Amino acid sequence: MIDAGLSLRELTRRLAAIGEEIERLDAVLITHEHSDHIAGLATLARSKKMRASIYLTHRTAPAIDWGAGGSQPQLKTFQAGAGFEIGDIEVNSFSIPHDATDPVGFCFETGHVRIATVTDLGYMPESVKYHLRRTDLVLLEANHDLEMLKVGPYPWSVKQRVMSRVGHLSNRVMAEYLSEEFPAGAAHLLLGHLSEQNNHPEIVRDLATQALETRGLRTRLTIASQHTPSEVFQF
């Protein structure tokens, strides 16, 4: 499981919806310490049902409030950019440009399948594009429509943060990447981390569809929701 931003109850419910249980998790991988990615982590780590190892970078671990007197659970830490194995899955981490302590994205490879997940980044550096090559499924951020953000309810300081190079990926930058460098062999593209105040799923769908069609790509497009699980992707 990647990140734990939901409550333990909601995590349990969503896992059950796909026939899984917390007890069967082998690992929880953390991308960074912002609350929408770790809100349920401390409770999950203390749960008697939890047997999974928690993987996160050396620098991210101390940035998290673990509660319960501040003691940390058993962690498996790694250097950003390092690779390691979880069972028969090869995991590769890579740094992303975001205003967290040591944020990372992940690629997962097993057999003939390669999956990448990258959200919470202000722009698309060449290093991130490199890691997204040869992927079969990509989870990519499409956080905000720039005009909606500018006229939206956020304070100006927050708007500046979101628009910065360590903020969040805009629809425009997402679409530019799809139309120029998105891996042609990818079967699935899952766009997520949409702002509820500064974006709309249909805007994202239209821009992404146009970008993919520009290159004649037949990648299947899915827009993720914050409130309902996506389908289960199988290879």
Per-residue DSSP letter, 70:
G
Q: In what order do the strands lie in the sheet with 188-192?
A: 83-86, 89-95, 104-110, 113-118, 137-141, 188-192, 220-223
Indicate the average pLDDT of the chain. Answer: 95
Phi-psi category of 25—alpha, beta or left, where left has phi over 0 and alpha has psi -120 to 50? beta
**pLDDT digit string (tens) for 145-185?**
999 999 999 999 999 999 999 999 999 999 999 999 999 99
* Strand 188-192 with 75-78, pairing: unpaired
Give residue 28's pLDDT band: very low, low, confident or very high (50, 70, 90): very high
The domain defined by 112-225 carries CATH number 3.50.30? yes
Sequence-ordered list of residues with C-beta below 8 angstroms from that of 113, at least 6 positions apart, any chain: 136, 137, 235
**Domain span(s) for CATH 3.50.30 in the chain:** 112-225
Give residue 73's pLDDT band: very low, low, confident or very high (50, 70, 90): confident
Q: What is the pLDDT of residue 63?
A: 96
Cβ-contact 136, 107 below 8 angstroms: no
Cβ-contact 203, 143 below 8 angstroms: no
Q: What is the pLDDT of residue 69?
A: 60
| Region 11-19 average pLDDT | 93
pLDDT higher than 70, residue 72: no
Give residue 71's pLDDT band: very low, low, confident or very high (50, 70, 90): low
pLDDT higher than 70, residue 142: yes
